[in-house]
Chain A
Amino acid sequence: MISQLRPALVMTGAFTVLLGLGYPLAMTGVAQVAMPGQADGSLVERNGTVVGSALIGQSFTRPEYLHSRPTATDPAYNAGASTGSNLGPSSAALLAQVRDRAAGQGPAPVPSGMATASGSGLDPHITLDAALRQVDRIAAARGVPGAAVQGAILGAATGPAFGFVGEPIVNVLGANLALDAAGG
């Protein structure tokens, strides 16, 4: 084993330089030059201010905005400390939370996503179905026709993954930016 010490030390050192510094720094360089928007986190600007990231959900509580899913992060949508609730399926605490959240969402049953916290606590999407249920509230709060709200939501929607797996989903921040841009 002693005779293996030199290769162990040299290999560890060499791989640390190659894989721990060379590889990530080279990839950072390439990514920053070739795909700066994505490499910097897909940030979204409005009037020169960063209002968020297209990939990171944020909290919406006002009636004129499309609402995101519930979250387990503290405070809500804390993008510096991601987490899920990790409550198990038989948890009474989870059952109480689901009941509370559903109560504020109109007639039961509500879409599961709107009564449960996501894995990251930062889910940027809700299902199209869950978004369309909010059209009337948003239209009333903004004093605009429902069709305009629906148009903004559909504009931020994407179809099932690869065209056939799962449901259509809506990027909440994208829909809300479109709603603000349309006025009302």
Chain B
Amino acid sequence: MAADLIFFALFLAGLTLMGMALGPWMARVFTGRARLLAPVERALYRAAGVTGRGQRWTGYAAAVLAFNAAGFVLLYLILRLQGVLPFNSQGFGAMESSQAFNTAVSFMTNTNWQSYGGETTLSHFTQMAGLTVQNFVSAATGIAVAVAVVRGLAARSVADLGNFWVDLTRATLYLLLPGAVLITLVLVWQGMPQTLAAGVTATTLEGAQQVIAQGPVASQAAIKMLGTNGGGFFNANAAHPYENATALTNLVQIYAILVIPAAFPFFFGRMVGDRRQGWAIFAAMSVMFVAVLLAAYFAEAAGNPLHAGITEPGVSMEGKETRFGLAQTVLFVVATTVASCGAVNAMHDSLMALGGMIPLFNMLLGEIIYGGVGAGFYGMVLYVVLTVFIAGLMVGRTPEWLGKKIEAREMKLAALTLLVMPVGVLILSAASILTGNAQTAVQDAGPHGLTELIYAYTSGTANNGSAFAGFSANTVWHNTMIGLAMLIGRWGYIIPVLAIAGGLAGKTRAEATAGTFPTHGVAFTVLLVVTILIVGALTFLPVLALGPVAEHVSIAAGQAF
């Protein structure tokens, strides 16, 4: 156990250093000082008719929506037409329409919820030209929005937030693509396939035929992690040995998930000219990360009391892979759900009751512990706005953040985003139960069945994409409703947060006085964490009590279902 805890500490130190190193590079990229690929940029802008002029928040949001629409239509068409498109050596046909809708929404919104099994459904063309592209650009979209929000906070009385097309292009060319190339090479070196062959047939030592599916796995896995997408090449995702070959690929992929989200607070600190502001947010994220990591670790280390006497004491290996062991499994489980990644290296459905509650909890908070690329940071911005407002009420001062007054408009918009998770999770889950669609889809009886349902709608709304995969999500109802949840969860944050940033950009920046409540330092970090827990988590305590907590208590009493 001591070794595992030392490993976690080293991991966190490494993540902090990477974030500190990448933050300044992002500041260079998004202020236009990285110019290595300027000719490529210019050619692209000319072809697209992009002037690069700054957009007000409405223009920025319209560009995001237009780009999402184009991406959705293209991906939907590829999924429906893959039967007649190239690189389809296994001869897969068209995907059914509700599933194609769900999948196209899923990859456009950076969710990568999968109601299909990759190796049995999709051609190599679909994986590359359809999914890999959205893995890049949905991530770049999230980054762009967060960058625009940071600009709004840093600006002094200007009306624009930057240009979406320029931010999108720079996020892709200067962050995601070079990172993905580097990670791909490490992954292939460690054994992950990168081939256009469909697969090979082996004759096993006992004489059986084993058909081994393959494909361009490493290139897709690299961006699926770096872009916090999470959509697997194979059904078993990063539990599949070809999609996560060794302990080292596991560690590299976990860092790939968290590096850009961890760099955002440092990028923000630089952009607003006060690095303490970034550190306060990074500290709040890290404190919560350590808490959920340890909670999940000890829940899993305890093992399954129902199997006592049959198997040796300690971690239950159901759904887990031997090469990762306890520490690397738990670290992945936590990393993939604090961010909006959703790749899995173990079957979350088979985690212990409380071990499975932690990923659910991470998502219900809105994925702001580091969070998804961009999405985590703008989610955190909303919590900071709330915290500043609450702090202002408590001490009787005008709420200010970075010298900008937080007023009724900002509060209304921030409060609106607080409704996104409850609507997507509770209302859509309740509708599924009332219409009978939940009961037919869950696999397990007892409280675990409720957790499977809640997890599915939480994963969709939080744009995570991981699953309690015993849940049969491939029905017209769930494909449609989870598709809807993903849209609410994406645009329900992006549009209000851009509106807030647009409003704040136009405000003058007052100098701090003795009456200003500081938004850095330990007091603020503590207040931020407390606000997140109270505002984000309280809503969901009843449903968590009925699902994972009830299951935990049942197991402790020796009850199986």
Contacts and interface: CB of A to CB of B under 8 A. Distances in A.
B323 A89 contact: no
B249 to A, nearest CB: 10
Interface stretch (B179-187, B430-438, B458-466, B489-497): B179-187
Contacts of A11: 44, 48, 67, 70, 165, 168-169
B470 A92 contact: no
A172 B436 CA distance: 45
Contacts of B452: 88
A90 B559 contact: yes
B160 interface: no
Nearest to B216: A24
A53 interface: yes
Contact of A23 (B168, B177, B350): B177
B109 interface: no
Interface string A31-44: 11001001111110
Nearest to B352: A89
B219 interface: yes
B66 A4 contact: yes
B347 A85 contact: yes
Contact of B322 (A38, A53, A164, A169): A169
Q: Report the contact-size class of chain A (Cβ under 8 Å from the partner).
A: 35 or more
Interface residues of B, number: 128
Interface string B90-129: 0000000000000000000000000001011000000011
B15 to A, nearest CB: 16
Contact of A111 (B312, B323, B555): B312
A38 B181 CA distance: 16
A85 B320 CA distance: 11
Contacts of A109: 309-313
A90 B59 CA distance: 51
Contacts of B128: 20-21, 24-25
A1 B120 CA distance: 38
B119 A82 contact: yes
A92 B551 CA distance: 13
Interface stretch (B195-203, B361-369, B421-429): B195-203
Contacts of A127: 322
Contacts of B220: 24
Interface of A: 1, 4-12, 14-16, 19-21, 23-25, 27-28, 30-32, 35, 38-43, 49-62, 65, 69, 77-92, 94-95, 98-99, 102, 108-113, 115-127, 160-162, 164-167, 169, 173, 176-177, 180
22 contacts: A5-B70, A16-B129, A24-B219, A52-B202, A55-B242, A60-B205, A60-B206, A65-B206, A79-B199, A82-B236, A82-B239, A86-B468, A87-B318, A89-B352, A90-B306, A92-B560, A109-B311, A116-B317, A120-B239, A123-B323, A161-B323, A165-B4
